[in-house]
Amino acid sequence: KGPDPDLVAIAERMATVKHKILVLSGKGGVGKSTFSAQLSFALAEMDHQVGLLDIDICGPSIPKMLGLEGQDIHQNDAVIWRGPRKNGLIKQFLKDVDWGEIDYLVVDAPPGTSDEHISIVQYLQATEVDGAIIVTTPQQVSLIDVRKEINFCKKVGVPVLGVVENMSGLRQAFTDLKFVKPGLAGEIDATEWAMNYIKEKAPELLSVVACSEVFDSSKGGAEKMCHEMGVPFLGKVPMDPQLCKAAEEGRSCFADQRCSASAPALKSIIDK
Ligand code: ADP
């Protein structure tokens, strides 16, 4: 029996793609697609040619996060597909799409370790994968699943490039804060009053960034887990309402002054 013709075709197609990076997460909603999109924007802004492949076939977010909504996107309503059909589509993406000469192919995978992961890893075996970046939030519930993700990578021989702790604390420009005064019938908007008070009494506060811990990270978060599991920790990205807005609007956050609470953290991770 000769070599699998699909793998041969994938290897040929991928020969023009210099680097392949998988972005994984144990759970959904931790910011994996946001990170994939911002990573792709950052690489493109460094003058690299970048392809971004969303293999979350049942719940793709990338078109929106790249600002491609409304363009000619082939989309099937409410995809409910079984494994073999998803595998077929992933194979097609790797084998039949003319990616051209590109520096990076970023692959945004669905959360967990499902059929799609096994197929993408199998297909990419035909070529060389740089490795996987795993995105998590600081809570233990998310970290437990990250351990599974790391073990999956070890088992299938995909190097773990590192773990990103996203939504690590909340950072917000002081001037974006909303102040409320608890009242008898619900909360009363006290923002204008508070801002006037601050302008008068302590104007230096207006250039300060407010930080708060949202999730319990007393057990050490992702950094400690990385240390225990012997994989690199890439850094923390705070929860930043402006980053959320940039993602919702399909924009890069790096050249955006408003994203000053999160862009430097993301940039330092990507530089690594
Ligand atoms: P996943 O791909 O892991 O399911 P998403 O990237 O879709 O998660 O993120 C879920 C939501 O959280 C999105 O609305 C996104 O804009 C928002 N989000 C992600 N990371 C951050 C962050 N650091 N600060 C604020 N909002 C964020």
Mean pLDDT along residues 93-107: 93
Query: Measured in angstroms, how far is the CA atom of residue 34 from the centroid of ligand 1?
Result: 5
pLDDT at 7 over 70: yes
CA–CA dist 107, 253 (Å, integer): 20
pLDDT at 72 over 80: no
Please tell me the pTM assigned to this model: 0.89
Q: From the CB of 30, is ligand 1 less than 6 Å away?
A: yes
When mean pLDDT is compared across 207-211, 232-236, 264-268, the lowest value belongs to 207-211
Write down the mean pLDDT value for the chain.
88
Q: Which two tokens stand for residue 105?
A: 């192919």
Nearest CA residue ID for atom 10, ligand 1: 29
Domains and CATH numbers, the chain: 5-169+214-271 (3.40.50.300)
If DSSP codes are grouped into helix, strand and coil, which group holds residue 25?
strand
Q: From the CB of 34, is ligand 1 less than 6 Å away?
A: yes
pLDDT digits (tens, 9 = 90+) for 25-61: 999 999 999 999 999 999 999 999 999 999 887 777 8
pLDDT at 249 over 80: yes
Q: From the CB of 247, is ligand 1 less than 6 Å away?
A: yes
Q: What local confidence, expressed as pLDDT, does residue 77 receive?
A: 61
Q: What local confidence, expressed as pLDDT, does residue 154 receive?
A: 93
Mutation probe of ligand 1 site: the residue of 62, 135, 244 with most atoms within 8 A of C-beta: 244
Q: What local confidence, expressed as pLDDT, does residue 150 receive?
A: 95
- Of 84-98, 228-242, 246-260, the range with the highest mean pLDDT is 228-242
- Of 26-40, 77-91, 218-232, the range with the highest mean pLDDT is 26-40
Q: What local confidence, expressed as pLDDT, does residue 118 receive?
A: 83
| Between 4 and 202, the higher pLDDT residue | 202
| Between 114 and 177, the higher pLDDT residue | 177
CA–CA dist 135, 20 (Å, integer): 17
Q: Is the dihedral of CA 90, 237, 240, 167 positive or negative?
A: positive
Q: What local confidence, expressed as pLDDT, does residue 70 receive?
A: 67
Percent of the chain with pLDDT over 90: 52
Confidence of residue 75 (pLDDT cuts 50, 70, 90): low
Confidence of residue 209 (pLDDT cuts 50, 70, 90): confident
DSSP string, 34-103: HHHHHHHHHHHHTT--EEEEE--TTS--HHHHTT-TTSS----SS----HHHHHHHHHHHHHTS---SEE
Please report, in angstroms and rounded to a whole number, the separation of the first and last CA atoms in the chain. Answer: 43
Report which of 267, 163, 182 is spatially closest to residue 220, judged by C-alpha positions: 163
Q: From the CB of 239, is ligand 1 less than 6 Å away?
A: yes
pLDDT at 78 over 70: no
Mutation probe of ligand 1 site: the residue of 27, 33, 34, 170 with most atoms within 8 A of C-beta: 34
Specify the DSSP class assigned to residue 145.
H
pLDDT at 82 over 80: no
